[in-house]
Amino acid sequence: MKKLLLLFLLPAFHASAQETPARDSVHIIVASPAVGPVIDSAEKAQYGVFPFWRKEEFAAAQFILQADSSVVLRGTMKDGAVKTLPLTRRNFLEMAYVINYRAGRIRTAQLSWIDLLGAVVVGALNVAKECD
């Protein structure tokens, strides 16, 4: 009887284990230390990002680096709905640039990849230190 029960439970356990994503399969990307890992509605308004989501419905957003190295913008709405938007790396860097420029972390309005990457890397390192 125990063997028969195991035969029924083993496939169910195997299926649920496959549906559960690995913990390190996604990582939050910090676009700027000015906003940290989560961009809330006040920061959305302050930095003028995510114009495709109305301020009345928007609660927060995060940039996610997935296991396959793709970047996704995950937005949580005030009603609890979660909306995702796939981004190219350039899309992410442009949004990060806007935030860093408007936060005063980059002095020129021209898109300088070196300035932007430096601001993003320094921001990520600072947030990582705060989390330790």
> Of 71 and 20, which is predicted with more confidence?
71
Alpha carbon separation from 112 to 17, 103, 117 (Å, rounded): 44, 15, 9
pLDDT tens-digit readout, 73-114: 999 999 999 999 999 988 999 899 899 989 988 876 555 555
User: Rounded to an integer, what is the distance from CA 46 to the centroid of its chain?
Assistant: 18
Q: Which residues pair with 27 in a beta bridge?
A: 65
Domain membership of residue 11 (yes or no) is no
How many domains are there within the chain? 1
**How far apart are alpha carbons 2 and 81 in whole angstroms?**
43
The answer as to whether 13 is a domain residue is no
Q: Examine residue 6 and state whether it is found in any structural domain, yes or no.
A: no
Q: What pLDDT is recorded for position 24?
A: 55
Q: Residue 127: which domain range?
A: 22-131
With a cut of 90, say whether residue 3 has pLDDT above it. no
Dist. CA 80–CA 14, nearest whole Å: 30
Average pLDDT, whole number, for the chain?
76
pLDDT of residue 89: 87
